[in-house]
Amino acid sequence: MRRRTPVQMGLNIASMIDVVFLLLIYFMVATDFSPAEETFRMDLPDRRIGSEAFSLKDTPLRVEVLAPGSRAKPLYNIPGYGVPTGSVVSLQQQLANLRGEGGAAKFTPDHPVEILVSPSAGWAGAVEAFNAAITAGYSNVRIDERGGS
Amino acid sequence: MRTSRQHISVPGITPLVDVVFLLIVFFVLVSRVVDLDRVPMDLPMPDPALSAPPMERSTAVVNVVPGDDGEAAGYRLDGTTHATDQDGRNALRHALAAHLLADPTTAVVIRADRRARSGGVLPVLHLARRAAAEAGLAVPVRVELAVERPR
């Protein structure tokens, strides 16, 4: 009687590597490497036409974003209503105090707010001021150039 | 005399399928990475931000290409970089107007680096407004300011 040769059991390494690579690529595809991007929305009315949101009867609440020095942090100011501040949290607090009904409140939440940005001020400061106005509860906010056309 | 057995070589179907799958995955990856609409830059990151995810609709993404010392090096829209001079701005305005003519609900998305000076970004707002007038838009043009959500 012939003796049967024992069958060598072994794992096929090539197919294992294939599977590992496919898993690796799957997780690379599934992972979002790009930073999460979001947006602030605003409507830009044509100045020649005029719009309901920014009509003359509603003089916008103006927030100035100034650049006191070439490398300094931006300075925020609400002309006629607040004190200039370098803190965006303080700006937000001042805006929140002006909003609402009764007390020191002077503006409704849908009152237009205009962020007037000095051209030499940093863009991040302008966006911070926009965010502060939204966070303070205003719904009608837009950005424009300070002293612009 | 014994004839040697002839070997018929048959291509293995398994490696072929592997290669095809790898090609598919490669192109899926490349199509995700190559995004002509978005120039790599550090967007402003207010924290906490009340920003919202971008809306699923027609957009014209204007990238303010970062230059030296916070100045704008150009404006990139649809894979074309427009100069910051008057000719470049006119070309950008026409391109935006074409977008708004094709779809009046188009939102102009402005992407600018957090270290950029506002003087290079604010002209895009004026151009969007003028493009809307050029396109005869009856409603205010919708502008979206791109920010990075804090992780």
Q: Is residue A138 part of a domain?
A: yes
DSSP 8-state assignment for residue A72: S
Q: Is residue A11 part of a domain?
A: no
DSSP 8-state assignment for residue A85: B
pLDDT at A127: 93
Q: Is residue A68 part of a domain?
A: yes
> Is residue A55 pLDDT above 60, yes or no?
no
Q: Is residue B119 part of a domain?
A: yes
Q: Is residue B66 part of a domain?
A: yes
Percent of chain B whose predicted confidence (pLDDT) is above 90: 47
For chain A, where are the alpha helices, taking DSSP H only? 13-30, 88-98, 123-135
| Kind and range of the H or E run holding A149 | none
Indicate the average pLDDT of chain B.
85
Residue B143 three-state SS? strand
Kindly report whether the peptide bond that precedes residue A84 is cis, defined as omega within 30 degrees of 0. no
Q: What band does B113 get if pLDDT is binned at 50, 70 and 90?
A: very high
Check if B97 contacts A (Cβ < 8 Å).
Answer: no
Indicate which CATH number applies to the domain containing B78.
3.30.420.270
Q: Is residue A3 part of a domain?
A: no
Instruction: Tell whether ipTM is more than 0.90.
Output: no
- Pick A55 or A119 by higher pLDDT: A119
Q: Is residue B91 part of a domain?
A: yes
Per the structure, the complete domain to which residue B73 belongs is given by 48-145
pLDDT at B33: 60
Could you report the per-residue pLDDT of B9-43, keeping only the tens digit for each?
Answer: 767 778 788 788 888 877 877 766 666 678 888 99
Count structural domains, chain A: 1
Per the structure, the complete domain to which residue A141 belongs is given by 53-145
C-beta atoms of A145 and B126 within 8 A:
yes
Could you report the per-residue pLDDT of A58-89, keeping only the tens digit for each?
Answer: 788 999 999 877 666 889 999 988 788 889 99
* Burial grade of B23 (CB within 10 A; 0-12, 13-18, 19 or more): exposed
> Is residue A51 pLDDT above 50, yes or no?
no
Check if B39 contacts A (Cβ < 8 Å).
Answer: no
Q: Which of A106-120, B8-22, B84-98 has the lowest mean pLDDT?
A: B8-22
Beta bridge partners, B147, equal A38
| Kind and range of the H or E run holding A24 | helix A13-30
Q: Is residue A117 part of a domain?
A: yes
Beta bridge partners, A65, equal A76, A117
Least CB-CB distance to B140: which of A39, A44, A145?
A: A44
Q: Is residue A124 part of a domain?
A: yes
pLDDT at A149: 47
Least CB-CB distance to A123: which of B54, B116, B126?
A: B116
- The answer to whether the beta carbons of residues B62 and B110 sit under 8 Å apart is yes
- The answer to whether the beta carbons of residues B118 and A117 sit under 8 Å apart is yes
